[in-house]
Amino acid sequence: MLASVFTKTTRDRWKGMLIAVVTLALLLLMAMAVYRDIDLSIYLELPEVFLEIMGIPDGADAASLAIGVLYGFYGALTLAALAVSMGSASVAGEERDGTIGLLLGNPRSRTHVLVAKAGSMLLLVGLGALALWGAAPLVAGILDVSITGMQVGAYVLHMFVNAIFYGFLAMAIGAWTGRRGLASGFTAGLMALGFVAVGVFPVIEGWENVAKAFPWNYFDNGQPIVNGIQWGDLGILAGSAAVLAVVALVGVNRRDLRGQNVGVTLLDRLRENPLTQKAVDRLAGATRVSRIWIKTASEHQGLLIITAYLMFFVMGLLMGPLYGLMDQTLLSYTDQFPEELWAFVGAGGGSMSTAEGFYEAETYGLMVPISVIVVTAVIGSRALAGEEQNRTMGLLLANPIKRSRVVLEKFLAMVVYALAVGFATFAGVWLGSLAGGLGIDPLNIAAASVLGTLVGLVFGSLSLALSAATGRVRVAVFGTVGAALAFHLVNSFASLNDNLAAWAKVSPFAYYLNTHPLKTGMDWGNAAVLAGLSAVLVGSAVVLFQRRDLRQTG
């Protein structure tokens, strides 16, 4: 162990931040290259409420919209996600990995450990924000694009404080519960809910102030990219982050920490119940791990519960009645939205003047792929590399099972969880349609949900292949997330440029919503392409895992 907890944590985490910043800068370059030929007049004819929501400043070149798109959504979520990862791992991650005892066995107090990890998080997120601040004018200069009227520095400062808030929230939950999955899952759900609420509630009469209940409102509410630093909003986020830091310190010092992962799984609870004990014992098999996929599924049950609840209730059931409350006159203006805006939400050529278009933009465009990818990428990245990292792969393979079976059963657990998220989405949207009297065809809802599940499985299979090839959890996670982000933007923006349109077809997202399944139903050709991509990647994972020498050290 290094002499300083701060130094060790920073050393372990800096590569992820560097990869994220470089990826965002390159994607900004691509997006701005596409946007620089767009005529701004079509935007300025939109209602003021939409201009405020999108953050379009007076006198700005249309290409500068790329900064709003990349930083306002992808940049803010990426910084916040990295902060959440660091915050949730600060205490709960050490407990899960069984290393908290070794860490505290050194002459370091609990307070010292938590403060050092918080300091590392602040440093890395701060450096990431500074890099993004510098990337914007650099990219604009390379492409000879004006970003007049864009307060990039103010925007990045808001991004930094916003990320730190969510990082400390995850840290506080992890410090009090010792559950990394709960800390990261709850915080990510709150972020997603806030992002949707801030975008939807302003167009519902009487609901404008409801958005103030969500922390995301104080990141972008005052349009810092247009109006500069909003000290009041910034103070609320920073003050809340400070309070959460104190809460985390109290929690870690008051609770008995777990020296190893002794969590009770869903199977354990079912075994304790006399009514279900016999059935579960038969399903789970003997102690020689005859059902690897069940064990894998049990390890990620918290993530599934949070994700499925978010997609069923918030992004499905709740959206139906909300649509009926919206100002239909304002929604009719979305028919005039340029294709570039619909490309941003992954729903090219859409319209929110219909219920199908609304759900496609708000639920299926980004949230469904993100939710399924999060679940499948976590399972895929930890399926093989996680076993090596935890030094349990040797115990697993000591049983009379082939390596190929390990990979396939891990993939089976991934499929089960992806289907569960897809079904939760289908059920939520169907019930939301019924509750709002929207009349969306349930077969079309099923088609969109299946395609969303399949596109998520493609990237989950990629994470499994990377896990098999490298034995490194972080390589699998960052590789999968980076690929998903890049392919989404290729699909979104390449099709807007005649010279790049052919490249859009290399993206798995090109076979998802481009045929508008909520309106037209299932495109079986697209479904076959996505299923085929998953099969190829899983086959690659089997071959790569069989040929690689496995690591038995962390």
pLDDT at 443: 96
Listed residues 248, 263, 278: the one ending a domain: 263
- Please check whether residue 94 is in contact with residue 185, taking contact to mean a CB–CB distance below 8 angstroms: no
In a domain, 211, yes or no: yes
User: Can you point out the beta strands (E) in 224-356?
Assistant: none
In a domain, 280, yes or no: no
Same domain for 455 and 361?
yes
Same domain for 247 and 334?
no
CA angle in degrees (0–180, nearest 5) for 531-534-538: 140
Distance (Å, rounded) from C-alpha 287 to C-alpha 48? 64
Same domain for 205 and 297?
no
**Sign of torsion, CA 489 490 491 495?**
positive
* Centroid of chain to Cα 373: 8
Same domain for 161 and 301?
no
Same domain for 393 and 451?
yes
Percent of the chain whose predicted confidence (pLDDT) is above 70: 77
In a domain, 95, yes or no: yes
Count of the separate structural domains present in the chain = 2
- Please check whether residue 233 is in contact with residue 198, taking contact to mean a CB–CB distance below 8 angstroms: no
Beta-bridge mates of residue 326 = 204
CA angle in degrees (0–180, nearest 5) for 439-442-445: 105
Same domain for 370 and 516?
yes
Structural domain boundaries enclosing 304: 291-554
Q: What is the pLDDT of residues 269-307, one digit of tens each?
A: 555 666 666 665 554 444 444 477 787 877 778 788 888
Q: What do you get for the CA distance between the two ends of the chain, in Å?
A: 13
Same domain for 256 and 315?
no
Same domain for 492 and 348?
yes
In a domain, 103, yes or no: yes
In a domain, 284, yes or no: no
Which of 378, 375, 403, 372 has the alpha carbon at shortest distance from 292? 403
Same domain for 133 and 21?
yes
- Please check whether residue 347 is in contact with residue 364, taking contact to mean a CB–CB distance below 8 angstroms: yes
In a domain, 309, yes or no: yes
Structural tokens at position 433: 């349609």
Listed residues 263, 279, 311: the one ending a domain: 263
Backbone φ and ψ of 264, nearest 5° = -95, 120
In a domain, 274, yes or no: no
Q: In tens digits, what is the pLDDT along the chain, a chain of 554 residues?
A: 445 888 888 988 888 888 889 888 888 887 787 766 655 555 555 565 555 555 555 555 555 667 777 788 788 988 999 999 999 988 877 777 666 766 666 666 888 889 999 999 999 999 999 999 999 889 888 888 777 777 889 999 999 999 999 999 999 999 998 888 788 888 988 888 888 788 777 777 777 788 888 999 899 877 788 788 999 999 999 999 999 999 999 998 887 776 544 445 555 555 566 666 666 555 444 444 447 778 787 777 878 888 898 899 888 998 888 887 776 666 665 665 655 555 555 555 556 778 888 898 888 988 899 999 999 998 998 888 777 777 777 667 767 778 888 889 999 999 999 999 999 999 999 999 999 899 999 999 999 999 999 999 999 999 999 999 988 888 888 889 889 888 887 787 766 666 666 777 888 998 998 888 998 999 999 999 999 999 999 999 999 988 887 665 54
- Count CA atoms within 13 Å of residue 450 on its CB side: 18
Task: Using alpha carbons, list the distances in angstroms from residue 376 to 67, 424, 463.
Answer: 29, 15, 8
Structural tokens at position 510: 């090109």
Q: What is the pLDDT of residues 439-491, one digit of tens each?
A: 999 999 999 999 999 999 999 999 999 999 988 888 888 889 889 888 887 78
pLDDT at 452: 95
Distance (Å, rounded) from C-alpha 87 to C-alpha 183? 8
Same domain for 314 and 251?
no
Same domain for 413 and 475?
yes
**How many Cβ atoms sit within 10 Å of the Cβ of residue 286?**
9
In a domain, 360, yes or no: yes
Q: What is the pLDDT of residues 209-239, one digit of tens each?
A: 888 889 998 998 777 887 889 999 999 999 9
Which of 348, 354, 364 has the alpha carbon at shortest distance from 323? 354
